[in-house]
A and B are shown apart, each in its own frame.
Chain A
Amino acid sequence: MKTIPRSTLLFFGVYLLITIVVQALISLQLLTVFWSKLLLFGAVMAIVSLGLNLIYGFNGQFSLGQWGFYAIGAYAAADVTFRWTQQGSASGLVILLLAVTLAGLAFWGVGWLLRRVPGLDPLSSFALYLAGVILAVMAAVAIGRPLIEPVTSALALLPSNLALQIVFFLAVLLSGVLAAEISYLFGLPVLTLGSDYFGIATLGFTIIVKVLLDNSDTILGFEEMKGARGMIGIPQATTWLWVTIFLLVILVATRNLLHSSHGRAIISVREDELAAKAMGIDVASQKILTFVIGSLYAGLAGALYAHINGFLHPNTFNFIKSFDPMIIVVFGGLGSVSGTVVVSFIWILVLEGFLRQWLPEGFENWRFVVYPLLLIIMMLLRPSGLMGGFELPYLRQILPPLRKNVKAESTAEAQGD
């Protein structure tokens, strides 16, 4: 029998212990609602930031679009559960499930076609994929409509709490997949851009999503999202248990991804694209793979976030907020999974919790003055992040976490200028 390494046991043991302790504190009502919600926020933030760390920290693609995918996940999941609890209809679930599946099939089909056409430019392939997705969504609506009634009655047979949990779980998963699919569609052309142009284009994506959410009831046609007035009446289904399960699965998935040959390829793209290409790595597909996985995390996190407070407002998804995960990733260390998780919790608990509770009024104005300064000082003095080299043994990659000689690359770049 294969023995399990000590680091693995330690990791899962500590994780389980923390989960149980926090759950006990919540169940015994030793934590106020405020603090238990902050813990949920912390876990959600950790998931978003892990996605961004994959994209930026491990793959080197500077993305500000994470918050846009987070918003998509949040609103999609909220719509599904809202329709279930408030309107008693599984229409959101059925349509989303079909749309996500058919769009996935469309991606696969168009991708199969495009592989037969070598040398097609990104914009043309984007147009073809877009056409495929639009057809798939139309088909999903057409097929889904007669299925709504039977699914609703079938779900209604279950105990109401169980049905809600099932709908919630599926909504979270499907919203994550939806965000991932949108990121695939968006990333295909945009990932061909250079590093900082990619950052601006993804920032544009976040702004576009926010504007669309502001007009979700008029332009998108979702009455229940109520546009800029904010969506209410979402069931508060996110619990500490759900959040820790998702976080654990994502941690393990990230760790295993990074340990696989795909993970090595992803990291090699960050280190040196040209060398990676020379080693036979398909740089473009590694970039898109990472981007899609990162956005999947963002979608899942958004879906969990939507069910914490039961209230969503487009201002939460303002692009200024999209710098939060970026700052967390930078502080936690580019390419450090444990650093990201720790800093996410610290970020939420300290910024939203302690500072707000303990420091006098008027400090709120100062915190946005202090943390940009910290960010600048960080970038100047310690660009590898606060916990740059630190990683729990279980999560540690075999590769070095960050390239040491940043200087060499920049001089090469300066010469290329």
Chain B
Amino acid sequence: MEKSSKISALYERAIRERWIGKGFLALIAVLAVGYIGFNAKESPSLFFQQLINGLQIGFVYALVALGYTMVYGIVRLINFAHGDVFMVGAFISFFAIDRFELHIWPSKVFPAIHPNLSLLIGTLTTILMTMVFCALMAMTIERFAYKPLRTAPRISALITAIGVSFFLEYFGALPFVFTPNFITYKGPFPTTSWYIKGGIYKLESGVAPPDGSVIFSNILIIIVVTSLILLSILQFIVRRTKIGKAMRATAFDKPTARLMGINVDGVISVTFAIGAALAGAGGILYATAYRQVVFLMGIMPGLKAFISAVLGGIGSIPGALVGALILGQAEVLSAGYISTPMRDAVAFTILILVLLVRPTGIFGEPEREKA
């Protein structure tokens, strides 16, 4: 009698605490970690190389993920077109650099200036200009496509967002707008690489790095530094300024925020603008790292950034960063150890699992259940 009640209590606990599901997840995790660990032991340098690559892509995803997380936090819309803003950012900077050489404009205007200083100022100008362009574009899109649907069902807005996304892609693919072809992105500055093997050495061009070394480039450093700076600025805006307070209030409760005298439409517009500006910067960094732009380049990074935002907890800025870094690692590890195309499948499997196990993500607060 004693024993059977004990068993039934254990059984009820197993059901309540979802033991079977957790065991299933643990099995997947153990298999993945075991597989990667086994391979990592074979060739540790390859493993560390993947980690570095993952860091690079993770920070780019973080920039894009912020736009998703902020927009979703405020208007509950999966802004499908966000990935295409990223693409537009890459293209705008491509034309600015390739056609107009905007990245070295100071040395053209003032020939006496030091070339490195000129490059620095010029690159910052390019980034700023791209960010402003993307922000204006996103505000226009918001005004004409999303705002009229603010009171419509959420799915109508999502379908509109998908429409905007297609429009941006294929409008960009027109020969006189951007181009339907893959084009090589020159990038504002040359790549310099170093390798680590018992110390850090510069990698001369045309020389193969020694076996078992880990390579990193100045692009990685630039991506990490730029992302961290932009993230800090964003965190400052959201936490310390008046508009940030208004954004948080709007995200928390729209009707009440409106009653408190907050211009909700203006706040939403600003949110779109900030998100798009970050995505534009992300587009430049991505294109600089991978040296290629094409009109469909925004879809997959956009979706992955959305996954990062969900993984980190939608509405949370540190969450977006953490989620993006995790996703970046998951992506390069699956690309490295399973097969390259499988990384998309792995990313979406992660998304589905996160949604099932913890829909609020790592940093998200449990949402009030809606009717």
B209 to chain A, nearest CB (A): 30
Q: Is the CB of A417 within 8 A of B254?
A: yes
A416 partner residues in chain B, CB cutoff 8 A? 370-371
A383–B78 alpha-carbon span in the complex (Å): 19
When the two chains form the complex, which single residue of A126, A127, A218, A406 contacts B153, counting CB atoms closer than 8 Å? Answer: A406
**B37-45, B48-56, B101-109, B162-170 - the one binding chain A:** B162-170
Q: How far is the CA of A119 from the CA of B303 in the complex (A)?
A: 33
Q: Is the CB of B345 within 8 A of A193?
A: no
Report B95 CB to chain A, min CB distance, Å. 19
A372 and B20 within 8 A (CB) = no
Q: Closest chain A residue to B145 by CB distance?
A: A376
Please give, as numbers and ranges, the residues of chain B lying within 8 Å of A123 by CB-CB distance: 18, 20-21, 24-25, 356-357
Q: Determine the interface band of chain B, counting residues with CB < 8 A from chain A.
A: 35 or more
Contact among A127, A205, A320 with B24 in the assembled complex (CB-CB below 8 Å)? A127
Bound CA span A383–B169, Å? 23
* B344/A207 in contact, CB under 8 A: yes
CB of B318, distance to nearest CB on chain A (Å): 22
A193 to B352, CA, bound (A): 10
A121–B18 Cα distance when bound, in Å, is 6
**A200–B341 touching, CB < 8 Å:** no
Residues of B contacting A124 in the complex (Cβ-Cβ under 8 angstroms)? 15, 18-21, 24
B159 touches A373 (CB 8 A): no
A360 to chain B minimum Cβ distance, whole angstroms, is 14
- The reply to whether B155 and A127 form a contact with Cβ atoms under 8 Å apart is no
CA–CA, A195 and B198, complex, Å: 53
A411 touches B20 (CB 8 A): no
Q: Please, what's the 1-or-0 string for A121-133, where 1 marks a CB less than 8 Å from any CB in chain B?
A: 1111011101000
A404 in the interface (beta carbon within 8 A): no
- Which stretch in B121-129, B173-181, B268-276, B277-285 binds the other chain? B173-181
When distances are taken between beta carbons in the complex, the residues of chain A under 8 Å from B9 are: none
For A376, the chain B residues whose CB sits under 8 A away are: 145, 160, 163-164, 167
Closest chain A residue, CB of each to CB of B164? A376
Task: Enumerate chain B residues within 8 angstroms of A326, measured Cβ to Cβ.
Answer: 159, 162
Looking at the complex, which one of B16, B25, B78, B163 makes contact with A200 (CB distance below 8 Å)?
A: B78
User: Quick check: is A211 within 8 A (CB to CB) of the other chain?
Assistant: yes
State the CA gap A330–B158 with chains docked (Å): 12
User: Within 8 Å of chain A (Cβ to Cβ): is B348?
Assistant: yes
B1: which A residues are within 8 A, CB to CB?
Answer: none
Contact yes or no, B255 A414, CB < 8 A: yes
Interface stretch of the complex, out of A22-30, A40-48, A363-371:
A363-371
Which residue, of B148, B170, B255, B359, has the highest number of chain A Cβ atoms within 10 A?
B170
B352/A211 in contact, CB under 8 A:
no
Is the CB–CB distance between B15 and A120 below 8 Å? yes
Complex CA–CA separation, A339 to B254 (angstroms): 37
- The reply to whether the CB of A282 lies closer than 8 angstroms to some CB of chain B is no
* CB pairs A–B below 8 angstroms (23 shown): A62-B155, A120-B15, A126-B21, A127-B23, A192-B356, A196-B76, A196-B158, A197-B359, A199-B78, A200-B351, A204-B351, A211-B342, A330-B159, A365-B175, A369-B174, A376-B160, A379-B152, A379-B160, A380-B148, A380-B160, A407-B151, A409-B153, A410-B152
Tell me the minimal C-beta distance from A80 to chain B in angstroms: 25
Q: How far is the CA of A212 from the CA of B371 in the complex (A)?
A: 37
User: Chain B, 327-371, contact with A by CB distance < 8 Å: what is the 0/1 string?
Assistant: 000000000000101101100110110011101000000000011
- Measured CA separation A330–B160 after assembly (Å): 11
